[in-house]
Chains A and B, each alone.
Chain A
Amino acid sequence: MITVLIPTALRSFTERQGAVQLEAGTVGQAVAALAENYPDLKQHLYDDQGQLRSFVNLFVGGRNVKTLEGLATPLAEGETLTLVPAIAGGRDA
């Protein structure tokens, strides 16, 4: 199991949960599983072409996955993935 931390702005779509636990081996699988578990979330995370919206930033171990292997970044058992919107191009969470 890994944990996904949900920003306040999206908690109305996750039954007010700030942390969601799910099974995933990569960052991409984790986001896809999250959208599958909470279908109303999908349009906020993915664009019409099914791509992750460009301002969605994902952090593992304090590092933006854009600087790692992107959606292919592996997630180890017990790891935490943080979902954060870009603010003014912000990359350091």
Chain B
Amino acid sequence: MMNILDMVGHTPLLKLDKIAPEHNVLAKAEFVNPSGSVKDRAARSMLLDGLARGRLTRDKIIVDATSGNTGIAYAMMGASLGCGVQLYMPANVSPERKSLIRSYGAAIVETDPLESSDGAFLAARAAAETRPDLYFYPDQYNNPANPQAHYDTTGLEIWEQTGGAVTHFISLMGTSGTFVGTARRLKDFKRAIRAVAVQPDSPFHGLEGTKHLASTLVPGIYDPNLADEVVTVSTEEAYAMTRRLAREEGLLVGISSGGNVAAALRLARTLPAGSLVATILCDSGSRYLSDSFWGV
């Protein structure tokens, strides 16, 4: 028999034929994970690691900072494991996300929206340090089990699904777990695979779940030696590609997915024939329907 944690991963790798008819741009459909985003992989890995080390027990409350998707994953898994969940998130996170989290029975502590994800991180850490007997604090920004999830699964899946033909991996970074773990695994398979990190073009941006590393706290799990190149994407470019993915590919995905595909397509246009660019469709667009960028 399976439980909800066993359903994480093994996502399809989609070829974006309409968006990139002349190039090989492939995208992992992470929205099919059970809580609806790529964050299921890291959350599962960190919680199972905590259980294995005896740090997470049924009487503890899972506490962490999140701008949404990791929180939804914790909320779902906490319910399945029988643990309480308390999440620190900026107050300007979308109402859809807060509702999803509360529907799983988890609690939300809202932090100052002016301080963005760094404010939530500092508040969660302070709470965890105050009551270590009460809380299990995965600390997704600094927990090696986060990138390890992508080393063990995402990177392996992309390698296997492309028959080892992948030449480039490109992704936006938030905690950097997806980028670090996937790039590290692919490079361990084949040193020549290029890893391209994507950043918002401004410290002030609308690319939820991503960080402008030059102006924010750099996650402890970030490995600056992995990126062969760092490129930027604007919020407007991500919005435009998110709309195209819905209308041309039938893929209703979130804004960071649009940012990833926009950057992947830009990269693919510069590459020789036969190149194969892989990226991530992080979550579903149904979490962003209150946003005006859809233009409907």
Q: Which A residues contact B (CB, under 8 angstroms)?
A: 5-10, 12, 18, 43-45, 47, 53-57, 66, 82, 84-93
Contact = CB atoms under 8 A, between A and B. Distances in A.
Contacts of A66: 292
B115 interface: yes
B177 to A, nearest CB: 18
Contact of B206 (A5, A7, A47, A86): A86
A79 B276 CA distance: 54
B90 A10 contact: no
B236 A53 contact: yes
B93 to A, nearest CB: 5
Contact of A87 (B67, B212, B215, B216): B67
Chain B interface residue bracket vs A:
35 or more
Given A84-B113, A87-B93, A88-B93, 6 more contacts: A7-B113, A7-B204, A8-B114, A54-B236, A88-B287, A91-B95
B94 A90 contact: yes
Given A12-B203, A44-B204, A54 B239 contact: yes
Given A10-B203, A12-B215, A85-B205, A90 B92 contact: yes
Given A7-B114, A9-B215, A10-B203, A91 B93 contact: no
B93 A9 contact: no
